[in-house]
Amino acid sequence: MSVVPHRSDQIESKSVEPQRASLKERVARAKAGTKDTTKSAGGVSAWWKSIVGGNAAKTTANAAKAAGDAVSLAKRAKAAERIAHIADQTKAQTSHAVAAGKVGLERAAKIGRETVLPELERTGAKLRERTRPDRLKSDYREYLFRLHERVLDPSTEQLFFKPTMNPVALSTLTIRGPNRAYGHDYRPTPCSIFEWTMAAIDYDFSRLTFVDYGAGKGRVLLLASEHPFAAVGGIEFAEELHDDAVMNIAQYPRSRMKCRNVECVLEDASTLGPPDGESVNYFFNPFSREVFAEVLHNLVVSYRKRPRRLYLILIDPVATDLVDESGVFARLQLPFPESLKVKLFSPYEIALYRSLA
Q: Give Cβ neighbours of residue 258 (< 8 Å, ≥ 6 apart).
A: 225, 226, 227, 228, 229
pLDDT digit string, tens, across residues 179-193: 999 999 999 999 999
Residue at a domain's end among 131, 153, 170: 131
Q: Are residues 174 and 296 in the same domain?
A: yes
Mean pLDDT of 301-311: 97
CATH number at residue 258: 3.40.50.150
Residue 281 CB neighbours (<10 A):
20
Is residue 164 assigned to a domain? yes
pLDDT digit string, tens, across residues 249-285: 999 999 999 999 999 999 999 999 899 999 999 999 9
Predicted pLDDT at 46:
56
The mean-pLDDT minimum among 7-11, 231-235, 251-255 falls in: 7-11
Specify whether the CB–CB gap between 308 and 202 falls below 8 A: no
Q: Are residues 183 and 125 in the same domain?
A: no
Is residue 52 assigned to a domain? no
Predicted pLDDT at 6:
47
Q: Are residues 119 and 251 in the same domain?
A: no
Q: Are residues 114 and 172 in the same domain?
A: no
Q: Are residues 188 and 78 in the same domain?
A: no
> What strand order describes the sheet that includes 310-315?
262-266, 231-236, 209-213, 279-283, 310-315, 350-355, 329-331
Specify whether the CB–CB gap between 237 and 183 falls below 8 A: yes
> Taking all residues of the chain, what is their mean pLDDT, rounded to a whole number?
85
Is residue 19 assigned to a domain? no
Residue at a domain's end among 131, 157, 176: 131
Is residue 101 assigned to a domain? yes
d(CA 14, CA 24): 16
Q: Are residues 193 and 292 in the same domain?
A: yes
Alpha helices in the chain (DSSP H): 8-111, 117-130, 133-147, 154-157, 191-198, 219-224, 239-251, 289-305, 320-324, 336-345
Is residue 56 assigned to a domain? no
**b/e string for 210-238 if b means 16 or more Cβ within 10 A?**
bbbbbbbbbbbbbbbbbbebbbbbbbbbb
Is residue 237 assigned to a domain? yes
Residue at a domain's end among 112, 131, 150: 131
Q: Are residues 216 and 321 in the same domain?
A: yes
Is residue 159 assigned to a domain? yes
Q: Are residues 123 and 231 in the same domain?
A: no
Q: Are residues 124 and 147 in the same domain?
A: no
d(CA 189, CA 257): 19
Is residue 34 assigned to a domain? no
Predicted pLDDT at 114:
78
Count of the separate structural domains present in the chain: 2
Name residue 262's beta-bridge partners: 232
Provide the domain limits for residue 323.
Answer: 141-355
Predicted pLDDT at 100:
73
Q: Give CA separation, 159 vs 53, 218, 333, in Å.
A: 125, 12, 31
Q: Are residues 108 and 163 in the same domain?
A: no
Q: Are residues 84 and 218 in the same domain?
A: no
**Nearest Cα to Cα of residue 223 among 198, 186, 246:** 198
131 confidence band (pLDDT: 50, 70, 90): confident
d(CA 156, CA 343): 22
For residue 233, report the phi and psi dihedrals to the nearest 5 degrees.
-135, 150
Q: Are residues 207 and 174 in the same domain?
A: yes
